[in-house]
């Protein structure tokens, strides 16, 4: 199959589903004794049955009006861009046109329309009885994406990925890598990340002690929360400026001088800048998210007098722990 860039259209759309047993929706108001002693049962098998580039079809087993008996009165189905919890249930997008519940034990379904390709959605529902007592469901995670061959230009990276997905031969498809959200490629001899830009489910990436200098392939992977880039010879971190979910970033033993890309990464809690060429910390002072319980490592950097006498104290005054002065 001909290799395609990950932004080109394709006819096959695939969805990943992650299902947990805990309820992701808000319970209805009221207690059991407002009815006959039974809420509807929690729905534990909400899942994605089919997708297109803009739709996801959900299916589940109907619960009853009272526990697993009878017929519930209504469904409330919602989706959100992060994992659904009781705390964010009211903020989630509420659908209209939900089906009327079937008799307990039968299969219900609904197609959600107007979704975006290459996007991740988290779905949940409530089943409610005639007096408004409700039970939630598990969460179903759906990633709508275009399937295609992924060519990793670097053979060392290709080998690491093949080992991860247990596919020693044949084309690596996007559907092979999307079930995985963590890549451990430390000490792998990698010099190019080309191909990783299609791996939108990644949340953790370890690339310490490689030879990666161009971070551009990471620039659109906004699900990444942890990134280890120790000892790669990196000087330009500009491609990281859109990774707004980063919480942990290790850049130890590189050649970084300009921290401007970090000024808007307000979720960072641990930042290791040890052994670089940094003199100016103004972008970190400008990062409004750096505060109490956050830690910055600054050993072995040629910090200016302004950094030492003004910028470091400004960060410390906000509760940031500075290590390495």
Give kind and range of the element (H or E) at residue 221.
Answer: none
Q: How far is CA 54 from CA 58, 108, 109, 193, 263, in A?
A: 13, 21, 17, 29, 34
CA distance 292 to 295: 9
Determine the pLDDT at residue 23.
61
Q: Which two tokens stand for residue 298?
A: 């600054």
CA distance 281 to 74: 56
CB 80 within 8 A of CB 91: yes
Determine the pLDDT at residue 184.
98
CB 45 within 8 A of CB 138: yes
- Residue 73, φ and ψ in degrees, nearest 5: -90, -40
Query: Furthest-apart CA pair in the chain: how many Å?
Result: 74
Pick the closest to residue 174 from 203, 206, 142, 199 (CA basis): 199
CB 138 within 8 A of CB 24: yes
CA distance 226 to 246: 6
Q: Which domains does the chain have, with CATH numbers?
A: 13-145 (2.60.40.10), 152-323 (3.80.10.10)
Give kind and range of the element (H or E) at residue 156.
Answer: helix 155-165
* pTM, to two decimals: 0.74
Q: Which two tokens stand for residue 303?
A: 């910090």
* Each residue's pLDDT expressed in tens, for the chain with a length of 325 residues: 334 344 433 223 333 433 333 467 665 443 343 445 577 888 999 998 877 778 888 999 998 887 778 889 999 999 998 888 889 999 999 999 999 999 999 999 999 999 888 788 999 999 998 888 888 899 998 877 778 899 999 999 999 999 999 999 999 999 899 889 999 999 999 999 999 999 988 999 999 999 999 999 999 999 999 999 999 999 999 999 999 999 999 999 999 999 999 999 999 999 999 999 999 999 999 999 999 999 999 999 999 999 999 999 999 999 999 999 8
Q: How many CB atoms lie within 10 A of CB 134?
A: 23
Q: What is the DSSP string of 265-280?
A: -TT--EEE--SS----
Q: How many CB atoms lie within 10 A of CB 217?
A: 19
Determine the pLDDT at residue 142.
82
Residues 6+ apart with CB under 8 A from 119: 81, 143, 144
CA distance 42 to 136: 5
């Amino acid at each position: 199959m001909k290799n395609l860039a990950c932004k080109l259209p394709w006819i096959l759309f695939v969805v990943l589903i992650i299902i947990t047993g805990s309820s992701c929706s808000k319970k209805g108001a009221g207690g059991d004794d407002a009815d006959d002693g039974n809420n509807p049962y929690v729905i534990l098998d909400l899942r994605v049955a089919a997708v297109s580039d803009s739709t996801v079809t959900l299916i589940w087993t109907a619960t009853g009006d009272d526990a697993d008996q009878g017929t519930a009165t209504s469904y409330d189905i919602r989706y959100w861009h992060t994992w659904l919890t009781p705390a964010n249930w009211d903020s989630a997008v509420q659908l209209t046109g939900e089906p009327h519940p079937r008799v307990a034990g039968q299969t219900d379904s609904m197609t959600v329309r107007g979704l975006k390709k290459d996007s991740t959605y988290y779905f949940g529902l409530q089943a409610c009885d005639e007096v408004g007592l409700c039970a939630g469901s598990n969460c179903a995670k759906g990633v709508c994406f275009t399937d295609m061959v992924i060519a990793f230009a670097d053979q060392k990276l290709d080998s690491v990925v093949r080992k991860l997905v247990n596919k020693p031969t044949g084309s690596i498809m996007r559907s092979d890598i999307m079930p995985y959200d963590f890549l451990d490629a430390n000490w792998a001899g990698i010099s190019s990340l080309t191909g990783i830009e299609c791996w939108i489910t990644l949340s953790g990436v370890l690339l310490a002690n490689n030879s990666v200098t161009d971070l551009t392939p990471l620039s659109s992977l906004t699900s990444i929360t942890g990134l280890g880039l120790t000892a790669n010879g990196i000087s330009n971190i500009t491609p990281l400026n859109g990774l707004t979910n980063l919480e942990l970033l290790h850049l130890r033993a590189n050649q970084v001088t300009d921290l401007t890309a970090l000024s808007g990464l307000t979720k960072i809690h641990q930042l290791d800048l040890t052994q670089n060429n940094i003199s100016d910390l103004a972008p970190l002072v400008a990062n409004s998210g750096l505060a109490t319980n956050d830690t910055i490592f600054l050993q072995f950097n040629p910090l200016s007098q302004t950094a030492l006498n003004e910028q470091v104290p400004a960060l410390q005054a906000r509760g940031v722990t500075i290590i390495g002065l």
